[in-house]
Amino acid sequence: MAGRCYTDSAFGIFRPADAVIAVVARLAFLLVLVLAACGDDADKELKSARSWSATALAVGRHWTRGEVPSAYARDTLRHAADELRKGPLPAAAAPVDELVQAVDREDRAAARALLEALARE
């Protein structure tokens, strides 16, 4: 009997096909765990993008009202644009870059118009 792939078990004979099924079931379970973890990362990235977008909008609004200094607005908006470029929606950085340009020019009217256009979208 040595060399055979069969062993006795409490439920009868253990066949190689049973081992294959057990391995496939474990791999499927691991795949589900990996996909679930990926979903968590995607959710985190989207939340981060929403947060940076909201930050940029808030800083832009406060800057147009003269409530925050230009240097602070510029630095925060640049950082927000950089973070958005790294995330799942890199195109979201473009309007923030436009806000940075408006701050660089000290053009509050252009920034206000951009913020109003974004609010309509």
- Which of helix, strand or coil describes residue 3? coil
Please give the chain's pLDDT, 121 residues, in tens.
455 444 444 555 555 555 556 555 555 555 555 545 556 788 888 899 999 999 999 999 999 999 999 999 999 999 999 999 999 989 999 999 999 999 999 999 999 999 998 888 7
- What are the boundaries of each domain within the chain? 7-120
CA distances, 121 to each of 65, 68, 114, 115, 118 (Å): 22, 25, 11, 10, 5
User: To 5 degrees, how large is the angle CA 88–CA 91–CA 92?
Assistant: 80
